[in-house]
Structure 1
Amino acid sequence: MDRIKQELDSLIPATPLSGSMNRRDFIKTTLGTGFAAAVLPVCAQTQIKTDASGLQAGTVMVRVNGQDVPVYRAQPEGKSNLPVILVISEIFGVHEHIADVARRFAKEGYLALAPDLYVRQGDPAAYPAITDLMREVVNKVPDQQVMTDLDAVAAWAGAHGGDTHRLGITGFCWGGRITWLYSAHNPAVKAGVAWYGRLVGDKTANTPRHPVDIADALKAPVLGLYGGKDAGIPLASVEQMKAALAEAGSKSAFVVYPDSGHAFHADYRPSYVEADAKDGWKRCLAWLRQHGVA
């Protein structure tokens, strides 16, 4: 229950819901409807829309141990030998915002892949409350399953126009934690960018380790982008992670935005902070380039 409370603290916005936009129209993508509409507001005035002109974009299926894993793929049309970026979603799955982020990377010249890592456990859109979503889907996803899925997605990229010698990963919230873990798991990863991913927590059979536990095992430097006012990820845990990274001699780094809370990059939510989101995006691209993922 403490874990669910922590997720609620970091995910539920302080501002009222906005009903001015048709949610179904907003979140419908080739992967289906994408988030728990009853608890997640939409801010039409801040929504960023990245078109697919000049891109090859849509859903592909990657077979993993007998399971088809849907992956939203975006890349420059007609191009090959592309740097690869894995885009890991929030707890709400691969909805339109995550697909849009993939297209943003594709516009920068990447083969961007956003896999549905909940496909075996359920559809996040089917749960109208975060507590139910966490209990019935998210908390049932084993970290090892995620690592295996991402390995398969990276291998698919290498066989379909991607240069896996230039492999990076980025993720948001739940996906931010996965970014840290995968950067320790796969030695092919050159760099990661973790957006407000949890750093510490209770250990379970499905989540036996957290980022603070694998600081000395990182195979690639990770840039952590965090909010100083994030109620679910206190600055004390950021400092704990910094200390673990320093002890390990890691080249990873943090940027903390003092006036932002959780999900400051999520332009479809009231938590969005435009200036910090834009600065974080620039830093994300620069970090990837600096470490050979471009």
Structure 2
Amino acid sequence: MVSLFGALGSTASSYSASKIPEATETVCNETVYNESACNETVCSENACNEIVCSENDCSESACSETACSETEIQCSASSQDTALTTTNYSAQMQAKMVNIKSDSKVYSAYTAAPAEEGNYPAIVLIHSFKGFEPGYQTMINRIAEDGFVVFAPFWQTYSDSPSDAEVEALIRNSIAYLETREDVDSERLGLTGFCAGGRYAMLFLPQIKEFKSGVAWYGFPYTGGSELQPARPASLIDKLDAPMLMIHGTRDQYSNITDIYKYAGKLDSADKYFELKVYQGERHGFMITENGGLSESFVAQDAYEEMITFFDRTLVTFCDRTLGNLTL
């Protein structure tokens, strides 16, 4: 099936290797958000160095810190040096910074969730090689408003180019963290990544079976074969069981579109379920602007909706089923 459309001078093509039920309306995870008049931010810091904020109907701010943290952290509605918002709360979502341990190291992570109490599907987001730019925070907040818990570990905390083994361990520990949260349905976990994170999405989706679906943005299916990156995602096709969506631009200057078509052909030959969304004329990293913000272009908005729709179909619509027992 191939569909073409154009707008604002751009065209996109969509290709599916096999059939999956179309998205339908469902009330299995319906959320009703109630707005309240909140002006006061009340912050507290716990022993995990986690900042949690809530809002009420006052106009003053009150903060408290426990004595467990060795480093004094100012409790505020915005972060310090990173230009990230460490705490964020709205009628639709709430977000915070947390720390998790992996291989005896401590990593920071940004996480956001729907504000309404519930049991939600969760998505692990792996940022690009350029780091956790502010645009990813904006995107994560929007994903949370769309009904998902999102967790984004800062995988470059100790090295710009850590080994695949280190990143895999961090992602597995991210899953372990999500499994402890009452607002997460651990049977409905998704994975998404951008640039180098797109390669990780292609690499880990076949290997980490807790993920029920994944979205790879401008990834690198044939990068590997080195000491730090021994495996190429294309070599793991036989292990892929979960549905995967790939999003790519035809003018990608780092990951050539011909490699994506080649990889898609191998997935098709192996009878693996995937979807490929190609945007005519788009370059590498088109979701994030040059100044690090989230792009608001037509293509970026359309691609975002493609991701959300895919996760809706693979993680939400089938909420009363087990994807492992579902024939796609």
TM-score normalised to structure 1 length: 0.74
Which of residues 149, 154, 163 in structure 2 aligns to 1:111? 149
Partner of 1:197: 219
Partner of 1:147: 168
Distance in 2 of aligned mates of 1:68 and 1:202? 26
Distance in 1 of aligned mates of 2:126 and 2:197? 5
Q: Name the CA shift for 1:293/1:216 in 2 (closer, same or farther; >3 Å).
A: farther
Distance in 2 of aligned mates of 1:290 and 1:230? 28
CA contact (8 A) 1:85 1:170 kept: yes
Equivalent pairs counted in the alignment come to 235
Stretches of structure 1 that go unaligned for 5 or more consecutive residues are: 1-28, 36-50, 122-136
Give the 5 Å matches for 1:121-270. 121=159, 137-138=160-161, 141-160=162-181, 161-269=183-291
Which one has the bigger strand percentage? Answer: 2
Which one has the bigger helix percentage? Answer: 1
Q: Per-residue displacement from partner, 1:41-93 (whole Å, max 9, x unpaired)?
A: xxxxxxxxxx7413321211112232111110111235231110111101122
Q: Which amino acid aligns with 2:179?
A: G
CA contact (8 A) 1:265 1:277 kept: yes
Partner of 2:60: none
Q: Per-residue displacement from partner, 1:26-51 (whole Å, max 9, x unpaired)?
A: xxx7485379xxxxxxxxxxxxxxx7
Q: Name the CA shift for 1:152/1:85 in 2 (closer, same or farther; >3 Å).
A: same
Give the match's secondary structure for 1:105: helix
Q: What is the CA distance between 1:293 and its match in structure 2? A: 4.4
Stretches of structure 2 that go unaligned for 5 or more consecutive residues are: 1-77, 318-328
Distance in 2 of aligned mates of 1:86 and 1:252? 19
Overall identity of the aligned pairs, in %: 25
Q: Which amino acid aligns with 2:240?
A: L
Give the match's secondary structure for 1:223: strand
Q: What is the CA distance between 1:292 and its match in structure 2? A: 2.0
Distance in 1 of aligned mates of 2:290 and 2:122? 25
Distance in 1 of aligned mates of 2:150 and 2:125? 7
Partner of 2:131: 93
Q: Which amino acid aligns with 2:132?
A: V
Q: Name the CA shift for 1:231/1:273 in 2 (closer, same or farther; >3 Å).
A: farther
Distance in 1 of aligned mates of 2:216 and 2:203? 10
Give the match's secondary structure for 2:186: strand
Please list every run of at least 4 consecutive aligned residues from structure 1 whose deviation after the TM superposition is greater than 6 angstroms.
none
CA contact (8 A) 2:223 2:233 kept: no
Partner of 2:121: 83
Which of residues 280, 298, 304 in structure 2 aligns to 1:281? 304
Of structures 1 and 2, the larger Rg is shown by 2
Distance in 2 of aligned mates of 1:182 and 1:203? 16
Q: Name the CA shift for 1:149/1:202 in 2 (closer, same or farther; >3 Å).
A: closer
Give the match's secondary structure for 1:170: strand
Distance in 1 of aligned mates of 2:147 and 2:137? 15
